[in-house]
Structure 1
């Protein structure tokens, strides 16, 4: 009987660890962006695109673009792509001047947890 209990405890521990690692791996995170973090680009980007590991809830998701140290630009809210809702796009309706910009984002996972992040990029047109 003692060995049966010990074997059952080992199996339970393995199942618990496996389930925990799957749960941790299932959390929403940012995979990549365009422009990329710290990238210098030669033209004003028409969009800021964020690729997440899963589709965020758009009601709790936002993306803001601001000149480094300035106020956020007045842009339409970001939207999810219809064909892939894990991709969030912010249309940049104005031409950005040369300089440093910061993208600040917040995303809400399907389970309600939110994550935040930011990254910068530089616009440097050829003269």
Structure 2
């Protein structure tokens, strides 16, 4: 009888650890295009690749110009852009409405996966 009791307790503990592990899973930014700190030509789209499938209804991003040549101390300027999901449910796509001019940009993102806990972060890159 004690063997069965111990087996039930062990199964309950294992299930509890598994469920708590799943509840702790949050989307993590794995990579971006352009990459964090990249310098180069203006991208026509920005892609953020996450570790979890995103709930696009609750996820999003803002594209901000944080510095422009000759004006390094101006306030961040919002840049109009379309934010959408992708064929890959782990990818968020940001498409600027107009070509990006020379300067430093920051994508401020918010990712929500099945655990419904929002995670935020940003990616900065420079257009030459």
Matches within 5 A, 1:65-84: 65-68=63-66, 69-75=75-81, 77-81=82-86, 83-84=87-88
Kindly state the Cα deviation for residue 107 of structure 1 after the two structures are TM-superposed: 2.2
**What is the DSSP-based 3-state SS (H/G/I as helix, E as strand, rest coil) of the residue aligned with 2:111?**
strand
Q: 1-side partners of 2:2 and 2:89: how far apart?
A: 51
Q: Which is further off, 84-93 or 3-12?
A: 3-12
- In structure 2, the gaps of 5 or more residues are 67-74
Matches within 5 A, 1:39-54: 39-40=38-39, 42-54=40-52
- In structure 1, the gaps of 5 or more residues are none
**What is the DSSP-based 3-state SS (H/G/I as helix, E as strand, rest coil) of the residue aligned with 2:116?**
coil
Q: 1-side partners of 2:53 and 2:21: how far apart?
A: 20
**Contact residue 46 and residue 93 of structure 1 kept, 8 A:** no
**Contact residue 23 and residue 115 of structure 2 kept, 8 A:** no
| Aligned Cα root-mean-square deviation (Å) | 2.2
TM-score (structure 2 length as normaliser): 0.76
**Contact residue 48 and residue 89 of structure 1 kept, 8 A:** yes
**Corresponding residue of 2:60:** 62
Q: 2-side partners of 1:119 and 1:10: how far apart?
A: 44
**Corresponding residue of 2:119:** 115
